[in-house]
Amino acid sequence: MNIIKTSSRGALVVLSGPSGSGKDTVIERLKEYNDNFWISVSATSRQPRPGEEDGISYYFKTEDEFKKMIDNDELLEYNYYNGNYYGTPKGKIEKFLKEGTNVILVIDVNGALSIKKKLPEAVFIFLIPPSMKDLIIRLKKRGTESSDKILSRFKEAYKEINEVNKYNYVVINDEIDTAARKVNAIIEAEKCSVERIEELYLNNPEEEMHELLIDDKEFVNDDIKI
Ligand code: 5GP
């Protein structure tokens, strides 16, 4: 029997970072290091970008449909960002956590702060670009938005980065593989958190160590190899 029993629940990981910080790319790479996670698919009222698929990238909704989801209390959190709604469906999150699967929410700072109020046990990771110059280059390279939208995402990034202290961890995304390995290390560390201890068996009379401690002599003379 182990000395401690720890919670088998999956870790709830909230990953934020300004638009263009590379959250999706890092998560994609994370799959090489960790296959025990499920990424929540958000709902949004924004238009799909080329290559984005409904139900995979997002659940694409009209603004009315999104508002209905709010009214029906179907969302764990939501935010209005850059002219569109984004929200996390409650859906399967609890089911996966119970089964021991880690759940990752890729959401903005406002959403993360709402989650922090509701589920403070979640682990909050902020992905940051190496520099603001780097960020604008990445936003432009994406080439899917007007320069107005790019500018407003860039301005939003300044506000978001100012909230970094509200997170538990910050990862600089200067190299995708390194960033993915750091995110994985944080998840692994989270699994070792003492907050997860449910029972300590040291005082259990059946625990072998306890018996050894009661009888010092036996402990010393025992043929335990060190
Ligand atoms: P994008 O339009 O670039 O896909 O996303 C814009 C921002 O919305 C990103 O910072 C992204 O992380 C955030 N976002 C995506 N899904 C959600 C969500 O469910 N809730 C919140 N609050 N933000 C989200």
Q: What is the pLDDT along the chain (226 residues), one digit of tens a residue?
A: 678 999 999 999 999 999 899 999 999 999 999 999 999 999 999 999 999 999 999 999 999 999 999 999 999 999 999 899 999 999 889 999 999 999 999 999 999 999 999 999 999 999 999 999 999 999 898 877 888 989 998 999 999 999 999 999 999 999 999 999 999 999 999 999 999 999 887 766 555 555 666 666 665 666 656 5
Task: Tell me what pLDDT residue 195 has.
Answer: 94
* Burial (CB count within 10 angstroms: exposed 0-12, middle 13-18, buried 19+), residue 72: exposed
Tokens linked to 138: 């990445």
Task: Tell me what pLDDT residue 217 has.
Answer: 61
Task: Tell me what pLDDT residue 145 has.
Answer: 81
User: How many other C-beta atoms can be found within 10 angstroms of the C-beta atom of residue 158?
Assistant: 11
**DSSP type of residue 26:** H
- The reply to whether CATH 3.10.450.50 applies to domain 4-214 is no
**DSSP type of residue 173:** -
- Backbone angles phi and psi of 49, in degrees to 5: -85, 160
Residues 6+ apart with CB under 8 A from 164: 126, 128, 170
Task: Tell me what pLDDT residue 13 has.
Answer: 98
Task: Tell me what pLDDT residue 201 has.
Answer: 79
Task: Tell me what pLDDT residue 51 has.
Answer: 92
Task: Tell me what pLDDT residue 64 has.
Answer: 97
Task: Tell me what pLDDT residue 202 has.
Answer: 72
Confirm whether pTM is higher than 0.85. yes
User: Is 209 within 8 Å of 10 (Cβ atoms)?
Assistant: no
Task: Tell me what pLDDT residue 203 has.
Answer: 62
Q: Which of 40, 77, 108 has most ligand 1 atoms within 8 Å of CB, for mutation? A: 108
CA separation (Å) from 210 to 3, 5, 45, 218? 11, 17, 60, 12
User: For tokens 């409904």, what's the residue?
Assistant: 54
Ligand 1 centroid distance, CA of 36 (Å): 23
Task: Tell me what pLDDT residue 21 has.
Answer: 92
Reduced to 3 states (helix: H, G, I; strand: E, B; else coil), residue 38 is: strand
CB-based pocket (< 6 A), ligand 1: 19, 42, 46, 77, 79, 81, 86-88, 106-108, 110-111
